[in-house]
Amino acid sequence: MIEFKNVGKQFKDNVVLKGLTLEIKAGELVVFIGPSGCGKTTSLKMINRLIEPSSGTILVNGKDIMKTDTIELRRHMGYVIQQTGLFPHMTVRENIQLIAGLEGKDHDQMDQRTEELLQMVGLDPKQFIDRYPSELSGGQQQRVGFARALMNDPDVILMDEPFSALDPVTRNDLQEELFNLQEEVKKTIVFVTHDMDEAIKLADRICIMRDGEIVQFDTPEEILRHPKDEYVESFIGKNKIWSSPAFIKAEDIMIEDPVSISGKRTLLQGIEIMRGRKVDSLLITDRDRTLQGIVKLKNIQTVSDKSQRIEELMEGELVAVDEQDSLLDVLEVMNHEETGYLPVTNKAGQLRGLITRSSLLSVLSEQFIQEEEVQ
């Protein structure tokens, strides 16, 4: 959809971008992030030729933007900026319809589209359509700005720190609105921010930049779990993943290599293994480590014939979680099933680990202590 090929930008002796190469897929929300002067805003503004590259090529839908008429290029792009860019002497209706009106579109169709867009961004058309920007809050102005960007049904929407001037509550609300809208409209969105929390909340992929170069371009989860270097780690914040529980996987918090035995063993052997390993239950697996069930000491003790095989007594209906399930998934299953333990398996059903309430509390409390020490 959007492709940068070895793109460079230089203002006199100041090199802003150094051979930027990346591809943004259709329907993807990509966030550019980095410290001031890293080149993130320059990269965004080159997409609609507000700034032109000094070298390299930028393609949109396979076409070189430098060989495309600038007006035609921008007609297929929405643009949302920090200051909203609304004309103060125009009503909400007039601001949203400005470009469409210049193109001579039908007034009734424009009004219908405007009302639909206001509803979409959470503003009642009857209440807001004929107001002026000065009669709106900052958050409401940003909603109108986003509606205007969507008016011509653009292929691409460029957003340059659109929420940075808003108070935290309004900012969170608009981040949620944008996420929900993107789920509905699936536009290709390029979003610039300096806030890593915002990037994690919104992005399909995050492009972390430094000194005009890409340091890491990946999904939020991959960046949180596997930062490329110390710069990325320090930029996102050490242990940042713990503030994003959806990205913490069962494999990150499980007890590895839990006690497991074959169902062919006798109950007596099971008791001896429990005593030796200081546990009161055993997970049952076959030779391929496929999880088959569980046997508990309290159940074994009710059977007088200890020569019976464990597979005759084990509980086969066992709830487990996948190693890629999130911490939130684990907690939900644990609470729903009212259980204090959950085996962890892979896609093939093989036992990979075990999560217990006590091990979970231990991991979380250890993380809390580490965060306190850092502070």
Residues 167-203 pLDDT 10s: 888 888 888 888 888 888 889 999 999 888 889 889 9
Question: Is domain 251-364 annotated with CATH 3.10.580.10?
Answer: yes
For the chain, the structural domain boundaries read 2-245, 251-364
Residue 257 has a CB neighbour count (10 Å cut-off) of: 10
- pLDDT at 362 exceeding the cut of 80: no
pLDDT in tens, 130-153: 999 999 988 899 889 888 988 888
Cα separation, 188 vs 338, in Å, equals 43
Residue 341 · residue 319 · CB < 8 Å: no
Question: Which stretches does DSSP call E strand in 129-259?
Answer: 156-160, 188-193, 205-210, 213-218, 255-256
pLDDT value of residue 243? 63
Task: Give the CA count within 13 Å in the CB-facing half-sphere of 148.
Answer: 27
Q: Smallest Cα–Cα separation from 43: which of 69, 80, 9?
A: 9
pLDDT in tens, 229-265: 888 888 777 556 566 666 788 888 888 888 899 999 9
124-129's contacts with Cβ under 8 Å and 24+ in sequence apart are: 128/92, 129/91, 129/92, 129/93
pLDDT in tens, 74-124: 888 998 887 767 899 999 999 999 888 878 888 889 999 999 999 988 899
- Token duo for residue 366: 């250890």
- pLDDT at 335 exceeding the cut of 90: no
- pLDDT at 373 exceeding the cut of 70: no
Residue 51 · residue 45 · CB < 8 Å: yes
Number of H helices, E strands in the chain: 15, 17
Residue 47 · residue 207 · CB < 8 Å: no
3-state helix, strand, coil in the chain (%, to 5): 40, 25, 30
**Which CATH fold topology does 2-245 show?**
Rossmann fold (3.40.50)
pLDDT value of residue 234? 81
Indicate the pTM of the whole model: 0.69
pLDDT band at 309 (very low <50, low <70, confident <90, very high): very high
Cα separation, 60 vs 155, in Å, equals 10
Amino acid (one-letter) located at 244: S
- Token duo for residue 363: 């991991």
pLDDT value of residue 332? 87
Amino acid (one-letter) located at 186: K
pLDDT value of residue 375? 47
Residue 203 · residue 29 · CB < 8 Å: yes
366: β partners: none
Contacts of residue 308, defined as CB under 8 A and 6 or more positions apart, other chains included, come to 266, 267
| Phi, psi (deg, nearest 5) at residue 89 | -90, 0
Element (H, E) at 335: helix 327-337
| Phi, psi (deg, nearest 5) at residue 336 | -65, -40
- pLDDT at 374 exceeding the cut of 50: no
pLDDT value of residue 369? 46
